[in-house]
Chains A and B, each alone.
Chain A
């Protein structure tokens, strides 16, 4: 059942590189990451690749397989014809460090710019109460494994390095939306989402949603509602007045809307 897989794997570093041709013995039921590992163990000991869980849980093994952004550990060889050559290249939107490993620090920088959750005080018994249906939306977004495939795919940054400054990207719009929908959070991040994260630059092409290995509906469930809320805020005279008069620029109306249960 095993066969010889023809592979082309990008080898190189920041200064340049090229596709290397390899023949790798593979077995039934294997995934692309298995083939890469065998290559590493038998033919190319210094082949650089990231991985941890081998089960689609950690988001380390992102790459482009035949040009499609995917997790190598969740891409089965049986998806391809045995005679087909599989080409594996690093994610394109991030600078290459070596072989399949890219510099994803952009994402970690963007993460730093996000204000974290600040909840209302606990109930008198020291616990907090939230309804299951109220946490489920946020839970969908928190399934994100930070594979950064959506970031890699989004055309706003994929071929436009200079947009990175102003644009946080779909993974972080998800985070804004998650915090915004948290039943007990007290911040209002709509202004930040618009101004610092550049949600306005997204023109809802949904490419991010298509590549998300967790199946998160990034565009429909996070970005579009977030865009709507940003628009609401801009034209909400009460918020505007509140901010002017009470100078509570870091608090919105949400704590009033959803007080502690």
Chain B
């Protein structure tokens, strides 16, 4: 199924489908989940907002982190686990970080099995590259288009297995059957509701399990590396269905986005540029990162240029250059340099690889960066430095799930990939997302399939539920002369960028919440032009509700957490605090309210044998 079905008239009623597992999202996590569920014997549907193969995963550049030990035999899951926890400032769900480190290598080899062609080492194994926060060169990659290789491989595998795909299809609501299920009041998951973007026609999926793999939320910010798809749909769907979110205060600003021309502001410049030898300089030509090495990473970071230079060729006897500190550190440093007036002409800093590596090397290792700057900014990165600055990139926060099964607190509802929370703590290391998608996508798919098969009595979707969902989806057409959804979106992006950005304060966060309230009111009265057939204005009107609730979660949690840690920096509480470091902030949306609830919850405690990994060196 492709979604390109103009035959289905809008008015000919509602289409219905029955599956064992419905996977929402066709990025790395969704595809891997669907493959796993299919392999476990389930009837599976994949749905996605864009065409198959266009999800965000396609844009990933640098690589997939997996301790395969192909270049450094000393690398193993324990080292990867330790790096991940330290990168997340110990706020990660330890069990997820452990599973991730243990299973990532096999997941990468599986991709190779299905046809992926990774770059090779001299002895023919999968090559691995350096990235910030990883002790060893660990990222399996294909030049700087690793995400393309990954999504194409999984897509081709899913097609080979003949899994049903509903593309250009948006899910707007999840259903629960109140007459079923243990515990919780709302009952188990019973299905999902959505529309074909092409025709506007409504569809009901009946399914005892749903896997959310919808990715992130970055479209709520003005400067972002994320596309129109990243409106936090999965986060919002989960909340409306009664699930909880954690870690929402942690938003990753990637240190290096393009800053010029305005048209490409925010577009990502891969961390591989630094992994492959690029350095950051301010307008005065200084390698300023040496001034920003935090206490937490002093032991493992080079403090002189000589030592940093030595590292590229001899990692045993040199510590890492400070340019390869975790992303939150580098983004804050760049932000400070710019604020101190040492920025580049277009409000960034310089990222220089031209003076450090040969044009040939640069073109071979970073072909798409070369292309991107040449085509979009008239800059030849083999000859001149790039201008870069922080860009909203990734959300660490997401649906709270059980580490082993990826099930949320709602029976039958699973989440994996960027939409799930816990794995990355307060800050994600580069390369750890693609591996996360594979490891937890597979686990979610498997577990959903088993759950589905164990279900004796399938939960059902009632006629009233369907009626309510259609009415909600059609609401924007009912208002006449209301506001344009694009304007509200732009205003929200402005609020989030200004008041809930890299550096936060109590006063600004309070303002942001008040602003978000006002935007919520305005959003109730928006109206859209045209009809239901492929109408981006209508699509945005529906997505906007999700962006608003997710933005509220971010602002609320950011206001609550009175410390600075990873992707959350408070000017008024500039240091980490042990008390806060033992807490997750959990957000829910009570069914009788349209504003989110927040509570504190102790972090799961790491067993002693794993704790010993943090005592050495």
Residues of A within 8 A of B (CB): 13-14, 27-31, 34, 40-42, 44-60, 74, 76, 95, 97-99, 101, 103-105, 108-109, 111-112, 115-117, 119, 122, 126-132, 135, 138-139, 142-146, 179, 182, 185, 261
Task: Look across to chain B and name the residue whose beta carbon is closest to the beta carbon of A14.
Answer: B6
Are B375 and A74 neighbours in the complex by a CB distance under 8 Å?
yes
A186 to B529, CA, bound (A): 54
B residues near A103, Cβ cutoff 8 Å = 4, 6
A residues near B260, Cβ cutoff 8 Å = 29
B:111-152 near A, CB below 8 Å: 112-115, 117-120, 123-127, 142-143, 145, 148-149, 152
A103 to B109, CA, bound (A): 35
* Contact count band on B: 35 or more
Are A138 and B117 neighbours in the complex by a CB distance under 8 Å?
yes
Task: Please encode chain B, from 141 to 175, with 1 for each CB lying within 8 Å of some chain A CB and 0 for all others.
Answer: 01101001100100011011010000000000000
- Which segment of B47-55, B349-357, B430-438 sits at the interface? B47-55
Q: How far is the CB of A187 from chain B (nearest CB, A)?
A: 11
A31 to B264, CA, bound (A): 9
B residues near A112, Cβ cutoff 8 Å = 159, 162
Query: Dominant SS at the A interface?
Result: loop
Task: Look across to chain B and name the residue whose beta carbon is closest to the beta carbon of A146.
Answer: B53
Nearest 10 Cβ contacts at the A-B interface: A29-B261, A46-B530, A129-B124, A117-B115, A45-B537, A105-B2, A116-B160, A48-B534, A105-B4, A41-B486
Query: Dominant SS at the B interface?
Result: loop
Please, could you name 5 A-B residue pairs with CB atoms under 8 Å apart, sorted by A?
Answer: A29-B262, A45-B530, A60-B50, A143-B145, A182-B117
Task: Look across to chain A and name the residue whose beta carbon is closest to the beta carbon of B157.
Answer: A116
- Whether A104 contacts B264 in the complex (CB less than 8 A), given A57-B145, A98-B534, A145-B148, comes out as no
- Whether A97 contacts B372 in the complex (CB less than 8 A), given A45-B529, A45-B530, A130-B124, comes out as no
Are A116 and B375 neighbours in the complex by a CB distance under 8 Å?
no
Are B534 and A27 neighbours in the complex by a CB distance under 8 Å?
no
B347 proximal to A (CB < 8 A): no
B:94-116 near A, CB below 8 Å: 109, 112-115
Q: How far is the CB of A71 from chain B (nearest CB, A)?
A: 10
B263 proximal to A (CB < 8 A): yes
Are A108 and B52 neighbours in the complex by a CB distance under 8 Å?
yes
A111 to B152, CA, bound (A): 11
Q: How far is the CB of A253 from chain B (nearest CB, A)?
A: 20
A34 to B142, CA, bound (A): 30
A112 to B51, CA, bound (A): 15
- Whether A143 contacts B376 in the complex (CB less than 8 A), given A45-B536, A112-B159, comes out as no
Task: Please encode chain B, from 54 to 72, with 1 for each CB lying within 8 Å of some chain A CB and 0 for all others.
Answer: 1110110000000010100
A131 to B528, CA, bound (A): 55
B residues near A60, Cβ cutoff 8 Å = 50-51, 54
Are B533 and A98 neighbours in the complex by a CB distance under 8 Å?
yes
A28 to B260, CA, bound (A): 10
A98 to B152, CA, bound (A): 27
Interface centre among A45, A74, A101, A142 (most CB of B within 10 A): A45
A117 to B117, CA, bound (A): 11
- Whether A46 contacts B535 in the complex (CB less than 8 A), given A60-B54, A139-B142, comes out as yes
A residues near B53, Cβ cutoff 8 Å = 58-59, 146
- Whether A45 contacts B528 in the complex (CB less than 8 A), given A74-B375, A130-B124, A131-B120, comes out as yes
Since A128-B112, A131-B124 are in contact, a sample of 17 more A-B pairs with Cβ atoms closer than 8 Å, ordered by chain A residue number, is A27-B263, A41-B484, A41-B486, A48-B534, A48-B536, A52-B55, A55-B267, A57-B368, A60-B50, A103-B6, A116-B115, A127-B125, A127-B126, A129-B125, A130-B117, A146-B53, A182-B115
B residues near A95, Cβ cutoff 8 Å = 6
